[in-house]
């Protein structure tokens, strides 16, 4: 009984994964671009996805030969770990059959799997690659994380050294109370 419920639960996911693979297979015929990350891992990426990366576009503008040749396009500031996540995100969002709800669920899961450090690293990579959709998604998500959090949390999150003395900080809070902004 328990097994049955389990299987029905995972079924949509499974089919999604199969679709995913199917998609990947059909796209094999499509042209691919070779990308090399900062830690020297090469990825073969569908051109349709790679061309969404501003950094790749820019590189190809400067040296168009790279699209056909075997030379890898170097991504100096993106590690393989980030590129994998970025590709995962774009493959899902590029998947024609993905409905709005699927994407929402995917986004939530995607975010949940990242710790704060990974999130920041990914944002840096997205910024370097110039991938707009993911960049906006991440910045918005970070804004949501720090929203309504106390001062100490935000300091830790951004790695800010508090250069106020306790007296200075207390004075600053006092002076700014007039604006109705409460510093928790």
Partner 1 sequence: MEESFGSNNTDFSACKQKLLKVQETNEGDGTMSKLPEPLINHILSFLPTKDAVRTSVLSKKWIFRWTFITKLNLDDTVFYSPKRKTRGKMNFVNFVYRALLLSRPSRLRSFSLVMTNKYDVSLLNTWISNILIRRVLAQSRVAKLPLFGMLSHLELGLVGCEGITNFDKELLNSAAVPDCLTSTLQVNEAIGADVALNVKDL
Cα–Cα nearest to 53, from 68, 41, 40, 43: 43
Contact 38, 78 (CB under 8 A): yes
Which of the ranges 1-9, 22-30, 51-59, 63-71 carries the binding residues for partner 1, by CB under 8 A? Answer: 22-30
Please classify residue 178 by burial: count the beta carbons closer than 10 Å to its beta carbon, then call 0-12 exposed, 13-18 middle and 19+ buried: exposed
Told to check if 43 binds partner 1 by CB under 8 A, we report: yes
Q: How remote is the C-alpha of 155 from its chain's centroid?
A: 22
Q: How remote is the C-alpha of 48 from its chain's centroid?
A: 18
Told to check if 80 binds partner 1 by CB under 8 A, we report: yes
How many CB atoms sit inside 10 A of residue 59's CB?
19
Which of the ranges 52-60, 61-69, 81-89, 95-103 carries the binding residues for partner 1, by CB under 8 A? Answer: 81-89
Q: Sketch the per residue contact string, 98 through 127, with partner 1: x for CB under 8 A, - otherwise.
A: -------------------x--xx-xx--x
**Interface residue list for partner 1 (CB under 8 A):** 21, 24, 27-28, 32, 40-46, 79-81, 84-85, 88, 117, 120-121, 123-124, 127, 139-140, 142-144, 146-148, 151, 154-155, 158-164, 169, 172-173, 176, 178-183
């Amino acid at each position: 009984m328990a097994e049955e419920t389990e299987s029905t639960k995972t079924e949509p996911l499974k089919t999604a994964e199969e679709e995913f693979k199917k998609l990947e297979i059909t796209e094999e015929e499509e042209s691919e671009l070779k990308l090399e990350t900062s830690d020297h891992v090469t990825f073969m990426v569908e051109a349709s996805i790679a061309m969404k990366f501003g950094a790749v576009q820019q590189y190809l503008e400067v040296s168009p030969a790279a699209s056909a040749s075997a030379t890898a396009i170097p991504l100096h500031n993106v590690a393989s770990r980030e590129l994998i996540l970025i590709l995962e995100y774009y493959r899902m969002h590029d998947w024609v059959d993905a409905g709005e709800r699927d994407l929402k669920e995917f986004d939530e899961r995607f975010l949940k799997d990242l710790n704060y450090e990974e999130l920041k690293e990914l944002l840096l990579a997205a910024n370097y690659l110039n991938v707009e959709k993911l960049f906006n998604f991440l910045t918005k998500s970070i804004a949501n994380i720090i929203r309504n959090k106390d001062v100490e949390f935000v300091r830790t999150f951004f790695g800010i050294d508090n250069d106020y003395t306790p007296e200075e900080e207390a004075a600053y809070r006092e002076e700014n109370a007039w604006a109705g902004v409460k510093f928790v």
